């Protein structure tokens, strides 16, 4: 597997997930079409599927134009988003534990409701990679638009239980702001200080901070490190107004 990060819109990440033997690819969360089509051409791959993490426009807004260019694309998202008809062009709905294959790539669906009720992560165990959309960010997590604190806390704990070496490909470049809140939450943490140094060096070079790893997130992410759902909810609320 090869992953090509495709910046979209202001601070979104789509990811081109390539089977290196067949040169076919899926695109995770195409917020817009043109950067994806450019990446497909540049990489010399054949786009076969759209893998959606959730229904928000900055993650599936490119579906329509991609389908206009490539009408045979498979479009996969959660059953909840199928039932609410909120992912354009959906051809297949999946639920927790389902497997999706693209040639030699095998993804397991993790349903992680909270940011939205149909939010899923795409976990590729053999590749040690997970695509988390707006559920888990580097040092942060999405807002609870459709779920509550117990729901989202449980969802994040499931992601935290993946193998620590798992690469985390997240939906937005929010890392530096997230780390500021992390340092405020846990002053004196060496792991957070190291993460801040790494992120600021990456940003200074004009690079994305993606991917992180589950191990780094366990050590630095205040939302994974909350003791329980109540503390998680307090932190999520505090972050909304943190500057």
What residues are labeled active site? 54, 56, 58-59, 115, 134, 172
Distances (CA, A) of 192 to 119, 143, 150, 206, 216: 27, 21, 25, 21, 9
Nearer to Fe ion, 24 or 142 (CB): 142
Least gap, CB of 29 to Fe ion (angstroms): 8
Residues in the chain: 243
Q: Concatenate the DSSP letters of all residues of 53-122 into one string.
A: S---HHHHTTHHHHHHH-TT-EEEEEHHHHHTT-STT--EEE-TT-EEEETTEEEEEEE--SSSTT-EEE
Part in contact with Fe ion (CB under 5 A); list of ranges 93-101, 114-122, 131-139, 153-161: 131-139
Q: Does 58 bind Fe ion (CB under 5 A)?
A: yes
Q: By Cβ distance, which residue is nearest to Zn ion?
A: 56
Least gap, CB of 56 to Fe ion (angstroms): 5
Gap between the Cα atoms of 234 and 93, Å rounded? 33
Least gap, CB of 73 to Fe ion (angstroms): 21
Q: Does 29 bind Fe ion (CB under 5 A)?
A: no
SS3 label, residue 175: helix
Nearer to Zn ion, 102 or 116 (CB): 116
Part in contact with Fe ion (CB under 5 A); list of ranges 32-40, 51-59, 117-125, 218-226: 51-59
Residues making contact with Zn ion (CB under 5 A): 56, 134
Q: Which of residues 165-184 bind Fe ion (CB under 5 A)?
A: 171
Express the helix, strand and coil content of the chain in percent, nearest 5 each: 35, 25, 35
Contact with Fe ion (CB under 5 A): which of 81, 134, 173, 217?
134
What are the residues binding Fe ion (CB under 5 A)? Answer: 58, 134, 171
């Amino acid at each position: 597997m090869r992953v090509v990060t495709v910046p979209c819109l202001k601070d979104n990440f789509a990811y081109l997930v390539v089977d290196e033997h067949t040169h076919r690819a899926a695109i995770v969360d195409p917020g817009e079409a043109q950067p994806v089509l450019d990446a497909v051409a540049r990489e010399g791959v054949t786009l076969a599927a759209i893998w959606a993490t959730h229904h928000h426009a900055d993650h599936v807004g490119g579906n329509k134009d991609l389908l206009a260019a490539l009408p045979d694309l498979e479009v996969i998202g959660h059953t909840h988003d199928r039932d609410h008809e909120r992912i354009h062009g959906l051809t297949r709905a999946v639920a927790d534990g389902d497997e999706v294959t693209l040639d030699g790539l095998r993804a397991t669906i993790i349903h992680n409701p909270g940011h939205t009720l149909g939010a899923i992560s795409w976990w590729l165990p053999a590749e040690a990679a997970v695509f988390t959309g707006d559920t888990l960010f580097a040092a942060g997590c999405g807002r609870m638009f459709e779920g509550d604190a117990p729901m989202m806390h449980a969802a994040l704990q499931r992601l935290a239980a993946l193998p620590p070496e798992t690469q985390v490909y997240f939906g937005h470049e929010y890392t530096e702001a997230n780390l500021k809140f992390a340092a405020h939450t846990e002053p004196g943490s060496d792991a957070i200080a190291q993460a801040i140094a790494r992120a600021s060096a990456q940003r200074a070079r004009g690079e994305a901070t993606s991917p992180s790893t589950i191990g780094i997130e366990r050590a630095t992410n205040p939302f994974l490190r909350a003791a329980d759902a109540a503390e998680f909810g307090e932190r999520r609320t505090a972050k909304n107004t943190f500057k």
